[in-house]
Amino acid sequence: MRIVVLVSGSGTNLQAVIDAVKAGELDAEILAVGSDVPGCLGLERAEKAGIETFTCAPADFTSRPEWNRALQARVAEYASDLVLLAGFMRILDAEFVEAFEGRLVNTHPALLPSFPGAHGVRDALAHGVKITGVTVHLVDSGVDTGPILAQAAVPVLEDDTQESLHERIKVEERKLLVQTLNALSASIG
């Protein structure tokens, strides 16, 4: 299975995938890592692993649709089996989603359909849930609404802050992501 990964931040999920591929625990090839955030840590991790990188920053385009189209064209160049959003923090428009329908995967730090959007951890904590978690899902044209591929639960502790809770979620997220990619790789080849 050949993957293009999109990141916006620290890239620890990306790192888990890189490590799993390297360790022979995931039968996949990362063709490239792209980002909307120039110089983000996720891009550095990719470079360090010798993976091709590219940046497509909204600031370099005159409109959002133009940026979306450029990113779509860049990702399409790789003709990958899968496009993985691993902490990619911008919403992709319907055209992008349709172009990669069925092979666009996102990871979200909450148990969807609860707490979609950019603040899944904060919102779950504010709501007072006792169990939250992580969801790996296919992307459709809604925000975090696509078909769920896998979930893992994470208990919320009495004294959790957004940071402490997110860190524990991310431990499970990295495992679940690699497991789910493995399952996809078995079905895609």
Phi, psi angle pair for 45, to nearest 5° = -60, -40
Question: Between 65 and 142, whose beta carbon lies closer to ligand GRF?
Answer: 142
Give the length of the chain. Answer: 189
What are 137's two structure tokens?
């899902």
What is the binding site for ligand GRF (CB under 6 A)? 7, 9-14, 42, 86-87, 107-109, 170, 173
182 is in an annotated binding site: no
168 is in an annotated binding site: no
* Minimum distance from residue 61 beta carbon to ligand GRF (Å): 23
Cβ-proximal residue to ligand GRF, closest one? 87
d(CA 87, CA 118): 10
**Which residues are CB-contacts of 66 (< 8 A; sequence separation ≥ 6)?**
none
64 is in an annotated binding site: yes
- Is 127 a known active-site residue? no
- Sign of the CA dihedral 60, 93, 16, 169? positive
d(CA 71, CA 67): 6
**Comparing C-alpha atoms, which of 100, 93, 142, 133 is closest to residue 114?**
133
Question: Between 42 and 146, whose beta carbon lies closer to ligand GRF?
Answer: 42
* Minimum distance from residue 44 beta carbon to ligand GRF (Å): 12
Q: Which of 108, 119, 127, 166 is catalytic?
A: 108
Helices 41-48 and 12-22, packing angle to 10 deg: 10
* Minimum distance from residue 87 beta carbon to ligand GRF (Å): 3
2 is in an annotated binding site: no
Question: Between 69 and 123, whose beta carbon lies closer to ligand GRF?
Answer: 123
Question: Between 36 and 173, whose beta carbon lies closer to ligand GRF?
Answer: 173
Question: Tokens 């950019």 belong to which residue?
Answer: 118
Which residues contribute to the annotated binding site?
11-13, 64, 89-92, 106
Catalytic residues: 108
